[in-house]
């Protein structure tokens, strides 16, 4: 199977990472397909470190966790993935079964998922890196996939579909198909990588062409193309985003080379001759060296990025394969969002990485680029509330919307790992029937609080209170009344106030002074006003967004009692009020 797959699968995997053992420079990991091993190289000295690591049959692609602790190796001959612990350089756990002939792996920036392109199976397997199990497999995309790469912010995964000449995009959060480019068998994409800013997708293309294409990551339209030597394959971009490196197998008259492309003007800066049949390519985290795997000569060529010359050739195993680039230690920092409390809900992040339901698990972690801003959302299920309980603030973030259905934690300029905790708890809630009528008005209140409260305190807004769970109360005077319920349960007191909830006026809340015509909303009263007229408005709460756009001079006068004889109160608008035309006098109206 290895020989049959050789023409289909992007070659040479070099994974760059920092070891936590104290080594000063990152290590490179190279798959040796015919030896079923992975070679480790010290990029400081360009020398092999230790004995090759035995993995599964036909190792090809690789991906690495953002913290550099684990390397994921796709074993194409046995359709499994091996996991290497970089602290000990040993395989940990059992092989993970995936689809047919896995050829490439991209670990999403959050680090919680590894996406495996099953090249002959035509699917993508999604590995949960915490449990090291396949959580989902996509539907069949193609009969022959080739390469896979993740966007730097962890939002998208790009798969090259060699059989249909297109790029398929997956949403990394939902694992669902997001976009598919139009198939073009004359320009078949092979290797793929993404610029550090996520704005450009770079691919090598064959078919009727031998080129490197830069695509707009938002529109998928071609920004530019650059002709290279025949049979281009692997591709990488340096950490600064200024250079792109693409390997070519070559053909008669054109040797095995690496094209060096400037991203500033999409021009070919240099063509560097390397070993036989170069396929994969990777750049060290400092951008100083380019490692090229030569599958035909069983070597790795090391190119000095400053002058585009080969400065070292390293012997590795037989038929080295694919390549993926991983940033140095410190490029990513971890965020852990825990959940606690007696109610349920969900926790997610932007950029993507953390996304779980609190009713099934209570923690989620992901890695985000150093210096980025991370927004965490905790959303409570129905009839519950959530708060960060100052944990976000203690982590250097900004909390908002606490003790509501959604609490937000924003952590700007991330530079160290953070841990926050969302607390989901029940909430006080109630209804009353009827809510409007002529005083004396008797209202039956029903407690609808969650979280099994054991005691209740009602404030009916007219000076009366009750400790019953479902009391009745008679309003003997006209007016609008706020009702407050404090229900105490396992999470302590829960309070809910419903403003102007009871209306014992039983009168229109808005009238036109000149005609005494009544209206049910401020907007409807405003619309009916003629030039020079006044709308009188009850001292009540109105849930309205008022856009006053009519060209007329009018007056909105709030704060009135039920009979419109006294204007000593205030009208409250829960919403907005804007005036874009006419002349409007506004009295005793507040915006909440």
Residue 392: strand, helix, or coil: helix
Name residues whose C-beta falls within 8 Å of residue 478's C-beta, 6 or more positions apart in sequence. 439, 504, 505, 561, 562, 563
In sequence order, the 6+-apart residues with CB closer than 8 A to the CB of 252 are none
Mean of the pLDDT values across residues 458-480?
95
Domain span(s) for CATH 2.130.10.10 in the chain: 2-315
Segment 541-581, tens digit of pLDDT:
898 999 999 999 999 999 999 889 889 889 999 888 999 99
**Residues 469-485: b if buried by 16+ CB within 10 A, e if exposed:** bebebebeebbbbebbb
Higher pLDDT, 308 or 286: 308
The domain defined by 332-424 carries CATH number 2.60.40: yes
Pairing of strands 145-150, 14-17: unpaired
pLDDT at 506 over 80: no
Start-end of H helices in 351-482: 391-394
pLDDT above 90 (res 250): no
Residue 118 β-bridge partners: 102, 123
- Give the strand order in the sheet containing 418-426: 363-369, 332-341, 418-426, 384-387
Tell me the CATH class for 2-315.
mainly beta
Give the residue from 136, 57, 71 showing the smallest Cα distance to 102: 57
587 bridge partner residues? 557
Residue 9's pLDDT is 32
- At 24 the pLDDT is 52
Q: What's the pLDDT score for residue 71?
A: 93
Q: What is the pLDDT of the chain when averaged over all its residues?
A: 89
The SS3 assignment for 526 reads helix
List every span in the chain annotated with CATH 2.60.40.10. Answer: 430-503
Type and span of the H or E element at 4 = helix 2-5
pLDDT of residue 352: 78
DSSP 165: T
Strands of the 510-512 sheet, one edge to the other: 518-519, 510-512, 534-538, 553-560, 583-587
- The percent of residues above 70 in pLDDT, for the chain, comes to 94
Superfamily of domain 430-503: Immunoglobulins (2.60.40.10)
Structural contact between residues 370 and 350, judged by C-beta atoms closer than 8 angstroms: no
Q: Find how far residue 145's CA is from the centre of its chain.
A: 25
User: Mean per-residue pLDDT for 351-374?
Assistant: 87
pLDDT band at 2, cuts 50/70/90? very low
Whole-angstrom distance, CA of residue 120 vs CA of residue 4? 11
pLDDT band at 252 (very low <50, low <70, confident <90, very high): low
What is residue 4's predicted lDDT score, i.e. its pLDDT? Answer: 36
Per-residue pLDDT, 80: 98
Other CB atoms closer than 10 Å to residue 198's CB: what's the count?
18
Contact in structure between 216 and 223 (CB atoms under 8 Å): yes
Among residues 80, 65, 62, 82, the alpha carbon closest in space to that of 11 is found at 62
For residue 351, cis peptide bond before it (omega within 30 degrees of 0): yes
């Amino acid at each position: 199977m290895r020989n049959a797959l050789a023409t289909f699968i992007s070659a040479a995997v070099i994974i760059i990472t920092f070891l936590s053992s104290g080594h000063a420079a990152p290590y490179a990991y190279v798959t040796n397909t015919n030896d079923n091993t992975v070679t480790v190289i010290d990029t400081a000295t360009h020398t092999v470190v230790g004995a090759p690591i035995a993995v599964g049959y036909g190792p090809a692609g690789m991906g690495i966790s953002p913290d550099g602790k684990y390397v994921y190796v796709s074993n194409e001959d046995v359709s499994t993935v091996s996991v290497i612990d970089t602290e000990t350089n040993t395989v940990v756990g059992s092989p993970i079964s995936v689809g047919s002939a896995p050829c490439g792996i991209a670990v999403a920036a959050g680090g919680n998922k590894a996406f495996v392109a099953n090249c002959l199976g035509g699917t993508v397997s999604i590995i949960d890196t915490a449990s090291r199990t396949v959580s989902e497999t996509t539907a069949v995309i193609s009969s022959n996939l080739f390469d896979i790469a993740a966007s730097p912010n962890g939002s998208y995964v790009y798969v090259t579909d060699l059989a249909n000449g297109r790029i398929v995009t997956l949403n990394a959060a939902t694992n669902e198909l997001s976009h598919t480019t139009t198939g073009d068998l004359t320009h078949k994409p092979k290797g793929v990588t993404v610029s550090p800013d996520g704005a450009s997708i770079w691919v090598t293309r064959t078919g009727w062409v031998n080129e490197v294409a830069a695509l707009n990551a938002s529109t998928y339209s071609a920004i530019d193309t650059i002709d290279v030597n025949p049979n281009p394959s692997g591709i990488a971009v340096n950490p600064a985003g200024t250079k792109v490196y693409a390997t070519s197998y070559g053909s008669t008259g054109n040797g095995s080379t690496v094209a060096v492309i400037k991203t500033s003007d999409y021009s070919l800066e240099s063509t560097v001759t390397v070993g036989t049949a170069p396929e994969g390519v990777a750049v060290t985290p400092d951008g100083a060296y380019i490692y090229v795997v030569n599958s035909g000569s069983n070597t790795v060529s090391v190119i000095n990025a400053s002058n585009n010359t080969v400065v070292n050739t390293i012997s590795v195993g037989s038929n080295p394969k694919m390549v993926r680039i991983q940033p140095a230690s410190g490029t990513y920092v971890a965020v852990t969002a825990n959940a606690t409390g007696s109610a349920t809900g969900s926790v997610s992040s932007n950029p993507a990485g953390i996304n779980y339901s609190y009713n099934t698990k209570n923690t989620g972690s992901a890695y985000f680029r150093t210096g980025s801003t991370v927004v965490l959302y905790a959303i409570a299920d129905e009839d519950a509330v959530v708060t960060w309980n100052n944990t976000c603030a203690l982590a250097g973030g900004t909390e908002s919307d606490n003790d509501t259905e959604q609490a937000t934690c924003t952590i700007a300029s991330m530079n160290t790992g953070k841990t926050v905790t969302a607390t989901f708890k029940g909430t006080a809630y109630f209804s009353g029937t009827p809510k409007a009528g002529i005083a004396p008005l008797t209202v039956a209140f029903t407690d609808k609080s969650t979280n099994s409260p054991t005691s209740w305190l009602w404030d009916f807004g007219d000076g009366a209170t009750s400790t019953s769970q479902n009391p009745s109360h008679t309003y003997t005077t006209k007016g609008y009344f706020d009702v407050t319920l404090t229900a105490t349960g396992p999470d302590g007191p829960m309070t809910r106030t419903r403003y102007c909830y009871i209306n014992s006026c039983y009168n229109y809340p808005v009238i036109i002074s000149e005609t005494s015509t009544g209206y049910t909303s401020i907007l409807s009263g405003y619309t009916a006003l003629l030039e020079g007229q006044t709308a009188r408005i009850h001292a009540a709460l109105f849930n309205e967004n008022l856009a006053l756009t009519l060209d007329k001079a009018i007056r909105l006068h709030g704060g009135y009692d039920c009979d419109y004889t006294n204007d000593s109160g205030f009208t409250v608008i829960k919403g907005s009020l804007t005036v874009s035309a006419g002349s409007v006098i506004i009295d005793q109206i507040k915006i909440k």
